[in-house]
Amino acid sequence: MKTVSLFSGCGGMDIGASSAGAEVIYASDILNEAAATYREQFPEVDFVHGDIKKIDSWPAADLIVGGYPCQSFSMGGRRKPEDDRRTQLYNDFARAVDTVNPKFFVAENVSGLKSVQGGHWLREQLDLFSGLGKLGGYNLSYSLLKAEDYGVPQKRRRLFIVGVRRDQGAFYDFPRPTHAKATDASRLGLLPFASHGDAIAHLPKWPSGEFYERPHDPEGHWSWYYMSRNRKARWDDPGFTVVANWRHTTLHPASPIMTMTWSNLADGFKQRWDFQHGEYEHLLGHEDRMHLEEPRRLSWREAAAIQTFPADFVPSGTTERKFEQVGNAVPPRLAEAVLKSLVSGSGLTDRRAESHPASKTTDEIPVLF
């Protein structure tokens, strides 16, 4: 399946697409470091480094994929899309779909797209996407997926919109989860959630230069803001969401535990969490696991492993830019899960998604168009 990739970043979506059986023939992104990384990962792909607003032609393709910028919809951001010029970049994704007229497209964005301003921006995009192309528009399905449900060792929620050109006579059904909480997995016939501690256990214990440190700050490594919440996920659980800001990256699961020492949420102030040095929950019954005497943030290499990038993946740029690329990426394993049944055709049906059991196993919204 010939595939055009837009807003490609360092290639997370495209690694997943390739694993699903698609052939990426064209990609583009505006960021310098992401462009360098992508070209290193996919030397055979025609990559265009530049502003998508200045691109007006793309090769013929069966599929277009892309995660247009999401900062204006992110629950961790200002959530004022009307004040952010990046908000309108979905129009350029739509322009490419309208021009190329592929059989299918897959768009990815943050969960906030569904909730910010009552879902206004999501409805606007659905209205636009449904009428694209030259053969009667697209049948749309969309779903809020949890990455951990598909074997990603990370709690990450992302919204996917899948379009199937109407002349194909089908709708897309999102894949059923393959993983669940350990207490429920056996009963449901699924695998237990992947451990983020196990995913990074083979990496160096203290990879100096690969994570954020504050050696010259009077507050030490840990700002008051960082200590305002629990930053340590349990070793055996999926990790917290991998973010694009290296200062806010969460803790290595071999760090000492954090406990809340005070809370003053009543007047809008945050909590205070502190390290309990010498105390480790992950060593109970597993004394052979590594432990860190001093806590540290995850390294970029560990963040990439938790995102399910391949072991030989090395992004370009400074350590800060490496984190930015890794955190902004679609987890390859999640992308593969979404795209595999689309590429093979097993996820296509001539019935509306709400009539399928699969739609009841995710936070899926029924097909609207």
Q: Return d(Cα 239, Cα 230) in angstroms, integer.
A: 12
Q: Are 41 and 313 in contact (CB under 8 A)?
A: yes
E strand spans, 128-203:
138-146, 157-165, 171-172, 179-180, 191-192
Q: Is 10 a catalytic residue?
A: no
**Would strands 2-6 and 23-29 be described as parallel, antiparallel, or unpaired?**
parallel
* DSSP tag of 102: -
The DSSP secondary structure of 79-93, one letter per residue, reads --GGG-GGGGGHHHH
Q: Return d(Cα 121, Cα 68) in angstroms, integer.
A: 13
Q: Are 174 and 361 in contact (CB under 8 A)?
A: no
Q: Give which of 56, 10, 14 is closest to 36, Cα–Cα.
A: 10
What six digits make up the tokens of 331?
Answer: 């987890």
Segment (H or E) for 108? strand 104-110
Q: Return d(Cα 151, Cα 82) in angstroms, integer.
A: 35
Exposed, middle or buried: residue 114 (CB in 10 Å: 0-12, 13-18, 19+)? buried
Q: Are 253 and 232 in contact (CB under 8 A)?
A: yes
Region label for 33, one of left (φ > 0), alpha (ψ between -120 and 50) or beta (otherwise): alpha
Segment (H or E) for 258? strand 258-262
Q: Give which of 133, 199, 211 is closest to 167, Cα–Cα.
A: 133
Of 61, 70, 161, 258, the catalytic one is: 70
Active site residues: 70
